[in-house]
Amino acid sequence: MLTDIDAKRLRFLLWSIIFLSLLPASVLTTRRVRAEENSITVTLIMDEPALSEQAEYLGTSSFELATRYQALGLNGIALYEETIESLAAKGKVAVMFGHEAHALALARGEAAPPIPADSTLVTPLEAGSLDNLIAKNTPIAKEITLAGRSWHMYPGISANLRPAGPDRGAIERYKEAGFDIAYRPRNYPNLLDIGQDFPTEAHYLIHTGLQVAGHPNALNELISASQGYLTGIIEGTDQDGLKHISTRVPTTRLLSFNQDYINRRLQPSDLVDKFLLAVNERGIRILYLRPYTEEQLGDMIANTEQLIISLTNALKREGYRVGPLGTLEIDYRTNSWLRSLSAVGIFAALALLASMFPAGWGALVAASVLALGLVAGGFDWNALALTAALTFPVIGYGLLPHRLTSLGLATLISLIGAILLTAVGSDREALLAISPFAGVAATLVVPPALFIFYLALRHKTLALWIRDLWGYPIRLGDVVLVAIVLIALAVVFLRRGNFPIIGVSQVELAIRDWLSAIFFRPRFKELLGHPLAVLGLTDATWPTWFKGLLLTGGVVAQASILNSFSHYHTPLLVSLQRTLFALAIGLVIGLLLVPLSRIVLRLTKRWLASSSPSTAP
C-alpha cells in the first residue's frame, strides 16, 4: 500500500514521462499537420448517366449540358465502363435474347435455331464495337449465324451486363473540352486482363457497384493497372476487394449521395453544407455530384446550377482550389521509433489511471483497459490508440481538485492524450479512412463508466455497495433517476457515427447549421458535458451523488474530445478548433447555468417546504 508521499512521487514521475513522450509525438503531429495543409484541392465530378437523363428532358446531349455546367464551376465528369446493354442503347450493337430468336424464326416459318432460350446474342453495328467485350469476357463467345448475320452468343440473359470497356470517343471528347475524367470500371466473374483497357485520359478510378473490378481472383492485376490513377474510396460504401488494394494503390476519399435522396430531400443549400462539412472535417477530396433529375424540389436545371455555383463559391471561400487532384493527396509518413516513444506516455497514463483506484482494483482496471484495446485493435498500434482514448478522459477529473480551473486543465490533459493518440495511431491508411479507428464506440461509454466506478470506490468498497444496494428500498424517484441516466447513456451510444440509430432533431440541426456558418461545428456532447462539469465544479452544496453525476457528464465531454481526434480523416487543426470552440461555449453556458440552477433549487426547496403538512401547535 503506497503512502500519500509515495503516491505523489509516483504520479510526478508518471506525469514527467507523459510530458517527455510529447516530444516525439509532437514531431509526428507536426508532420501530419503539414501533410494535411498540402491537401487543399477539391475536384467536382458529375455522374454522366444522371447528366444524360437530365439532358433528355431538354432534348440535348449530356456533353452539351456538361459544358454548360463547366462554365459555372464544374470541372470533372464520371464515365462508366460500357456494357452490352449500354452499347445497344447507343446504337453500336444489336442485342437479342435466345427466346426472341426462337420467336422470330417461328414467325418466319422456320425451325427454331439450336441455341438456349436464355442466351444473349450480340452483333456489332459499328466496326470494333465488340473488341473489348470479346477480349475480356469468359467463356469465349460462340459465333453463330442467324439470317445471314454473324452473332456472338453468351450464356444467360444477364450477359447483357458484361463489361465492354470504355467509350473512348466520349472520353476523348470530354478530355479535349478540359474535363477532369473519372472512369468507373465494372466487375464481372472471370474477367481477363483486368485494367488493360483503363483509359489513359482518366485521372481517377471509381469502381462501380459493391465490388472492385477483378474481385476476387485478379486483384493483383488491378493493383498493377491502378498505379497511374487515384482510386476513389466511397464514404459509406463497402466495396469487396477495396481494402485489399487500398494500401497498395494511390487513393483519395469520395462523397456522393443517392439520386433519390437528392431529388426528394436535399435542396442545393443542403448539399452544399454536407459537401463542405465533409471537405473540412473528413478530408473528402472528390465531391461526386449528381444533377437533379426530378422536380419535387423545383426546377431541376436551376437547382443543379445553384448547387454548382454555391458549392464552388463556398469551397473558394474556405481556401480550397477546385481542380484536378495531385497524384497523392496525403503524403504522410510515420516512424516506428517515434511511435514507440510516444506510446510510453500512454502506458504512463494507464499507470496514473490505476493509481486512482485501490491497489487491487487499479491493476484490474488498467489490465482491462489494455485488454479491451487489444481485443478491439488487435496486436497493433490501434490497441494503444484506443487505450489512450479510454484513459485520458478519466484522469483529468479523477486527479484534479474540484474547482473551476479544473475544466481547462482536464481539457488540456485530454488534448495531451489526443496528441499521443494521433501520434501512435496515424499513418497514411488511417488518414484515408482505409484503416479506421478500432473501438470508437467504446471511447464514449467506457470513460464515464470508469469514472463512476472510481467515484463509487472512493466512498465504500464494492462489497459494501452490493450489500447496501441489495437491501436498498426502491422508490419511484430512484427509478426515474436511474432511467434518465440510462437513457442519456443510450442516446450518447446510439447517436455515434455518421449514420446514427437515433437521428438528430431539427432544433439541433438548426443550431449546428448556425454554428457551422460562423465556425467549425463543435460536438454537442461537449456543449452539454462542459456545462455540467462547470455546475459540478463550482457549487459545493450539491449532494455528493449528484455532483458525481455532473462530473460524469464532464467526463463524457472529455471522452468526446478524444473521440474527435480518433477520426483520423478529420484534419488535426479542425479537431483542435472544434474542441476549443466547444470549451469556450460550454464554459459560458455553464457559468450562466450556475446562478440559474441556484435560483431553481432555492425555489424548488421553498415549494417543497410549503407543501409539507403543517403540524398543530
Q: What are the sequence ranges of the domains in the chain?
A: 4-36+332-607, 41-81+165-322, 84-161
Of the candidates 557, 73, 490, 547, which has an alpha carbon nearest to the alpha carbon of residue 320? 73
d(CA 520, CA 32): 20
CB 250 within 8 A of CB 227: yes
Q: Which three cell numbers stand for residue 414?
A: 485530454
On the question of pLDDT at 528 being above 70, the answer is yes
Average pLDDT over residues 221-229: 93
* Per-residue pLDDT at 368: 92
Count of other CB atoms within 10 angstroms of residue 95: 17
CB 218 within 8 A of CB 193: no
Give me the percent of the chain exceeding a pLDDT of 70. Answer: 86
d(CA 324, CA 180): 6
Average pLDDT over residues 416-431: 88
On the question of pLDDT at 492 being above 80, the answer is no
Of the candidates 71, 40, 41, which has an alpha carbon nearest to the alpha carbon of residue 304? 71
Helix, strand, or coil (residue 152): strand
Average pLDDT over residues 145-158: 88
Burial class (CB in 10 A: 0-12, 13-18, 19+), 72: middle
CB 463 within 8 A of CB 518: no
Q: pLDDT grade, residue 312 (50/70/90)?
A: very high
Residues 6+ apart with CB under 8 A from 274: 255, 257, 266
Q: Which three cell numbers stand for residue 283?
A: 478530408
Give me the percent of the chain exceeding a pLDDT of 90. Answer: 53
Burial class (CB in 10 A: 0-12, 13-18, 19+), 80: buried
* Per-residue pLDDT at 498: 47
pLDDT, one tens digit per residue, over 245-265 is 988 888 888 999 999 999 998
On the question of pLDDT at 29 being above 80, the answer is yes
Q: pLDDT grade, residue 395 (50/70/90)?
A: very high
* Per-residue pLDDT at 222: 95
Q: Which helix (H) or strand (E) holds 558?
A: helix 544-566
On the question of pLDDT at 616 being above 50, the answer is no
* Per-residue pLDDT at 358: 86
Which range is least confidently modeled, 34-43, 62-71, 318-327?
Answer: 34-43
Which CATH superfamily, name and number, covers 41-81+165-322? Divalent-metal-dependent TIM barrel enzymes (3.20.20.150)
Under DSSP, the state recorded for 157 is G
At CA 60, angle to CA 57 and CA 62, rounded to 5?
95
On the question of pLDDT at 432 being above 90, the answer is no
Average pLDDT over residues 547-559: 89
* Selected residue with higher pLDDT from 488 and 404: 404
CB 72 within 8 A of CB 312: yes
Average pLDDT, the chain: 86
pLDDT, one tens digit per residue, over 269-306 is 999 999 988 887 777 899 999 999 999 999 999 999 99
Query: According to the per-residue pLDDT averaged within each range, which of 215-219, 428-432, 466-470 is highest?
Result: 215-219
At CA 407, angle to CA 406 and CA 412, rounded to 5?
90
On the question of pLDDT at 196 being above 90, the answer is yes
Average pLDDT over residues 81-108: 91
* Per-residue pLDDT at 501: 47
* Per-residue pLDDT at 499: 44
pLDDT, one tens digit per residue, over 374-394 is 988 888 889 999 999 999 999
* Per-residue pLDDT at 570: 78
Whether a cis peptide bond, with omega within 30° of 0, leads into 571 is no
pLDDT, one tens digit per residue, over 434-453 is 677 788 788 888 999 999 98
What is the DSSP annotation of 83-135?
BHHHHHHTTSEEEEEHHHHHHHHHHTT-PPPSS-TT-EEEEESSTTTTHHHHH
d(CA 309, CA 442): 41
Q: pLDDT grade, residue 613 (50/70/90)?
A: low
* Per-residue pLDDT at 330: 62
Residues 6+ apart with CB under 8 A from 580: none
* Per-residue pLDDT at 615: 47
